[in-house]
Structure formats: C-alpha cells, structure tokens
C-alpha cells in the first residue's frame, strides 16, 4: 500500500497556517533565510519547493545565492548577519555544499535557536527528514503512542541504506537514541542483499536505483528518501514502485512520499523557532 506524504502532511500544514495567523496577531511574522551556493540548476527544484510552500503558508523568505568560488568566510559572514537579524527566525544552507566549504563550520555557525534543519549537535529541533520517516513508520505500524511505537520497533529488523550527513545519518542517530540497533548498509557493505532480505523496515537514502524486488522480504515497509533525475530527466527514487508494490506492505512514492512531509516539518520547526524567539 502506498503511503502518501502529501496526505500525512495535511494536518501539519493546517496547524502551521493556524500558528502563522496567531503569530501575526502578535506582530510576529515567521521568516526563513535560505542560502544557496552555485548555479541555479543545482538547487532550483528543491529551493523552489520551499519557496512555494512558504508562500502558501504566509511565511516570509529571504533567498541569498553565493558563488561556489566565494571563500568560506563570506558564507560564514552571511550567516552571522542572519544570526543577528531579529526578523529571521530560521536559517538553512541548501545542500550539497561545494568541496571548498567545511560543512561542520557552516552547521556550527548557525545559532542553535535558528538551526531549523536540526544539524547542530545541540539543536533545539529534530532533523525534519527524521520526523518525516518516523511519522511514516508510525502510520505503517498503526500505533498510537510513542511507547507502543518503541515496543513495536524493538520487534522489527530496521535497515538504513546509505549514511549521508543530511538523510541516512540523522535517521541512524535518532534510532540509536531510541535504544534501537539499525543495520547500516553503505557502499562498503559486502552482503547487502542478504541483509536486505531479512529487513522488516528499509529506509533508503542513496539517490540511485539500488533496491530490487528480488532482495526484499515479503511485507517489508519501504521508505525512500533518495531522489535523483533519471536519463529522461524525471525525478525518481531508489526503487521502482511498479516493481516493488506487490512485495512491500507499505511504501512511499517518489516524488510525493518523504519530501512533502520533510518540508512540512521544516516549516513546523520554523514556527516553533519564531515562537521561542518572540517569547
């Protein structure tokens, strides 16, 4: 059964709209700053989605594009300016970052109060992609409380395919914090297929088609974070939905799965940041 991230995002979006209205009555207008690096073709699709949703929600935006040839110190200077701007409640630097930029310096440069991506070790907010993934898992397992969720997850073999710093790794860290022991598969793992066949829940965060129906356990829950353009220019995920739909009990589509939910939680974090900074 397909799990629509758009459907799961609807109540979150409705709550954000309600909160934006309440904050406006207090003369607080949530605003996000998005810093992009390099040519538009590398970030246009993803940033465009953020700008479109922000407009729908009545959230203000500031888009700043810096050349990939600019030194890191200019990026950090820009972040410091935004940190000191009381009208900006959340700051994100769109990935991927060029090799001349130290991502750790960038992450630590953003105030924890404005780190709505949740990448700082001491961030006040959870990484949106994790919130999206656990929301989808909760829906698939049909549990109603956090305690029931943790008990249910203890009985599941959970596999994370890919451990990139923006998707796979945050999910791994959060699962570990719940006392779980996810199986992590990356490019160096030798027995990938054997591990995949035993998994009850698979979260893919690769950005290439690696998951085939032959390596899936019947009834598996399949959650796809990875996304890329195929040779026809179409946005696709880490598995062929037509191929796996009769094997997986639940799966997310690409696009329309994790993405919309991820965006909803990003703006939910922004609203919480605006509330905290206004109090």
**Per-domain residue ranges of the chain:** 26-113, 128-259
pTM, two decimal places: 0.94
- Beta strand extents in the chain (DSSP E only): 31-37, 60-66, 90-93, 158-161, 183-185, 201-204, 221-224, 228-229, 235-236, 250-251
Average pLDDT, the chain: 94
Per-residue pLDDT band for 144 (boundaries 50, 70, 90) equals confident
pLDDT in tens, 85-109: 999 999 999 988 888 899 999 999 9
**Domain 128-259's class?**
alpha beta
For residue range 211-228, list pLDDT tens digits in order: 999 999 999 999 999 988
Place of tokens 């799966």: 251
Topology agreement, domain 26-113 and domain 128-259: yes
What's the chain's Rg over C-alpha atoms?
19
Q: What is the pLDDT of residue 130?
A: 97
Residue 61 has pLDDT above 80, yes or no: yes
| Residue 80 confidence (pLDDT) above 80 | yes
| Cβ atoms 46, 94 nearer than 8 A | yes
Provide φ and ψ at 3, rounded to 5°: -110, 115
Q: Which two tokens stand for residue 4?
A: 């629509």
Model confidence at 163, in pLDDT bands (50, 70, 90)? very high
Q: Which residue has the higher pLDDT, 204 or 151?
A: 204
Is the backbone peptide bond immediately before 152 cis, with ω within 30 degrees of 0?
A: no
Determine the pLDDT at residue 70.
80
The pLDDT of residue 84 = 98
Percent of the chain with pLDDT over 70: 100
* One CATH from 2.60.40.10, 1.20.1250.20, 1.10.3720.10, 3.40.50.10860 for 26-113: 3.40.50.10860
Burial bucket for residue 79 (CB in 10 Å: 0-12, 13-18, 19+): buried
């Amino acid at each position: 059964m397909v799990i629509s991230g758009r459907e799961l995002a609807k109540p979150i979006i409705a709550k954000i709209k309600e909160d934006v209205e309440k904050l406006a009555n207090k003369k607080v207008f949530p605003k996000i700053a998005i810093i992009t690096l390099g040519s538009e073709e590398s970030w246009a699709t993803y940033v465009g989605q953020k700008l479109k949703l922000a407009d729908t929600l009545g959230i203000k935006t500031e888009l700043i594009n810096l050349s990939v040839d600019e030194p890191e110190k200019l990026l950090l200077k820009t972040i410091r300016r935004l940190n000191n701007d009381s009208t900006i409640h959340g700051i994100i630097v769109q990935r991927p970052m060029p090799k001349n930029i130290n991502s750790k310096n960038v992450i630590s440069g953003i105030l924890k109060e404005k780190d709505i991506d949740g990448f700082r070790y001491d961030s006040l907010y959870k990484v949106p992609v994790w919130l999206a993934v656990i929301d989808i898992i909760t829906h698939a397992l049909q549990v109603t409380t956090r305690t029931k969720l943790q008990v249910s997850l203890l009985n599941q073999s959970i596999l994370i395919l890919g451990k990139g710093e923006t998707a796979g790794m945050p999910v791994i860290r959060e699962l570990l914090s719940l006392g779980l022991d996810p199986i992590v598969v990356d490019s160096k793992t030798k027995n990938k297929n054997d591990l995949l066949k035993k998994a009850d829940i698979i979260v893919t965060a690769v950005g290439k088609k690696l998951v085939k129906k032959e390596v899936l356990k019947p009834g598996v829950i399949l959650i796809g974070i990875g996304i890329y353009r195929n040779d026809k220019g179409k946005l696709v995920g880490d598995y062929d939905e037509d191929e796996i739909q009769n094997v997986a009990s639940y799966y997310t589509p690409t696009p329309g799965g994790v993405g919309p939910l991820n965006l909803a939680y990003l703006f939910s974090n922004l609203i919480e940041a605006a509330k905290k900074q206004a109090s």
